[in-house]
Amino acid sequence: MKEKKEVLWKLFISNLYLSAFTFGGGYVIVSLMKKKFVDELHWIEEQEMLDLIAIAQSSPGAIAVNGAIVVGYKLAGIVGVFISILATILPPFVFLSVISFFYTAFSQNMIIQLLLKGMQAGVGAVICSVVFDMGKGIIHSRNVSSILIMIISFCITYFLNINVIFVVITCILIGILRVLYSFKGGKKI
């Protein structure tokens, strides 16, 4: 019982902390979650984390909230879901309530603008580091179709700006085709 309480507490604090410092959208928080729960706490494996992220981004709603839900569910069931959601929405709720009162002063402050600009470069580095780890796993698998899917998906989302949901659906269809093919006695592709 004590252990469960500890997991919940750690889950709450981790999500609160990640949410409070995550500037710049869903993929940033997802990258940070990977660093926290996979690399630091070792509560989730890397492959599984990728699956959870896939669930988070193919469902409707904010990726940060969805990410918190899947991680919470994985670690502590429905109670974990509520704890995670609360921790994730509390910081933006407080920040926004406070900032909407003195927005002009805030947005024109030089130091705040510089801080944000610098943090943007830091955020880019966090995402790059996570992509390096995960991309390395895929390339080392030496599975040609996985590598192709990775490259093509990148081009489609980055250069063509196509909504990620279509990429997700297409990949699921490719997966289903692979399943059907293996049923027909073909080799695994």
Partner 1 sequence: MIYLQLFLSFLQIGMFSFGGGYAAMPFIQDQVVNLHHWLSLSEFTDLITISQMTPGPIAVNSATFVGLKIAGFLGAVVATLGCILPSCFIVSILAYIYRKYHKLTMLQTILASLRPAVVAMIASAGVSILVSCFWPKGFSFSLSDIHLSSIFIFIIAFVLLHYKKINPILVMVFSGFLEVIFYYGAKLFL
Segment 78 to 97, residues that bind partner 1, using CB under 8 A:
78, 81, 85, 89, 91-93, 95-97
| CB of residue 167 to partner 1, shortest distance in Å | 5
Exactly one of 7, 41, 79, 138 binds partner 1 (CB under 8 A); that residue is 138
- Contact between 13 and partner 1 per CB under 8 A: no
44 contacts 37 by C-beta, under 8 angstroms: yes
Query: Distances from the Cα of 142 to the Cαs of 55, 79, 137, 145, 189, in angstroms?
Result: 25, 39, 9, 9, 12
Residues 6+ apart with CB under 8 A from 148: none
Q: Does 11 bind partner 1 (CB under 8 A)?
A: no
Radius of gyration of the chain (CA): 19
Amino acid at 155: C
Contacts of 23 (CB under 8 A, 6+ apart): 116, 119, 120, 123
Angle CA 79–69–174, to nearest 5: 135
User: Residues 21-60 vs partner 1: string with x where CB under 8 A?
Assistant: xxxxxxxx-xxx--x---x-------xx-xxxxxxxxxxx
Site for partner 1 contains 120 (CB under 8 A): yes
- Residue closer to partner 1 by CB (options 8, 56) is 56
Residue 8 or 32 having the CB closest to partner 1 = 32
- Told to check if 9 binds partner 1 by CB under 8 A, we report no
Task: Give yes or no for residue 69 binding partner 1 (CB under 8 A).
Answer: yes
Under the binding rule (CB under 8 A), the answer on residue 103 touching partner 1 is yes
Nearest distance in Å: CB 38, partner 1: 12
Comparing CB distances to partner 1, the nearer of 2 and 187 is 187
| Contact set for partner 1, span 149-178 (CB under 8 A) | 149-154, 157-158, 163-165, 167-168, 171-172, 174-176, 178
83 in Cβ contact with 77 (< 8 Å)? no
Q: Whose Cβ is closer to partner 1: residue 9's or residue 94's?
A: 94
Instruction: Give the count of beta carbons closer than 10 Å to the beta carbon of residue 93.
Output: 12
Contact between residue 127 and residue 53 where contact means Cβ atoms under 8 Å apart: no
